Amino acid sequence: MDEQLSPDSSRAAPLHSPVFEHMVTTLREQAWCVIPDALPPLLRDALLAQLQQPAALGLRAAGIGRQQEHTVAPDIRSDAIAWITGSTPAEQAWLAWADALRQFLNRHLFLGLDSFESHFAHYAPGAFYARHVDAFRHAGVPAASTRRMSLVAYFNPHWQTEHGGELALFDPQSGQEYRVLPELGTVALFLSEEVPHEVRAARRDRYSIAGWFRVRTGSVPV
């Protein structure tokens, strides 16, 4: 494995990455999977270092809805976000890792994932995100692309159950709730249109990256 953190460390996530294999095996059986210690350590630590300087991230109150409909709705979500553009080596390595995962998912699950977008998120103590899905199968407004697979990664060392802040995933088949502690290195992957989820309020600052792999829908953008 490469010792250097570079965009080239897409090679740090080789085509036979056991983590990617585990994701694919689980996603053949169910609509979601959660993997502790999923991030390559160099990537994880570089992103953690960046998140430990939150003032430099340019975090702003998150909103809901697409483009023109975008509104800040603190009764639904109260996190602050900053979109990842690839402006630091850590961000470039993250985008390279996500792209290696995108290609792996396409090769093994035939998902046709076409692009990726992601943002840092900070949930201050008490902040939450009410139950939602990340995409709607029959959205009223035609769009050129839609979110198909959601990816969330966590950056909170030594998270304890009593800190709260779980991601609750609701299995679409059984309706059962599965709780994810936002511990450093844990990754959740789930079908954007099918898995309702929510972020419970935490007693500590809580940092994550949320990302979405998109597919082209063939509609003309309006």
Q: Contact positions toward Mn ion, by CB under 5 A?
A: 134
The least distance separating Mn ion from the CB of residue 132, rounded to whole angstroms, comes to: 6
Residue 177 Cβ, how far from ligand OGA at the closest point, in Å?
A: 14
Closest to 91 in 3D by CA, of 58, 129, 134, 125:
58
**Number of residues near ligand OGA (by CB under 6 A):** 9
Minimum distance, C-beta of residue 135 to ligand OGA, in the bound complex (Å): 10
Give the DSSP per-residue string, 71-113: B--TTTB--EEEE--S-SHHHHHHHHHHHHHHHHHHHHH----
Q: Can you tell me the distance from the alpha carbon of 151 to that of 153, in angstroms, rounded to the nearest whole number?
A: 7
Q: Does 134 bind ligand OGA (CB under 6 A)?
A: yes
Q: How far apart are CA 35 and CA 74, in angstroms?
A: 30
Helix (H) or strand (E) holding 44: helix 41-51
Which C-beta is closer to ligand OGA: that of 10 or that of 208? 208
If binding is defined by CB under 6 A, does position 121 make contact with ligand OGA?
A: yes
199 binds, among Mn ion, ligand OGA, none (CB under 5 to 8 A by kind): ligand OGA
Interface contacts to ligand OGA, rule CB under 6 A: 121, 129, 134, 152, 167, 197, 199, 208, 210
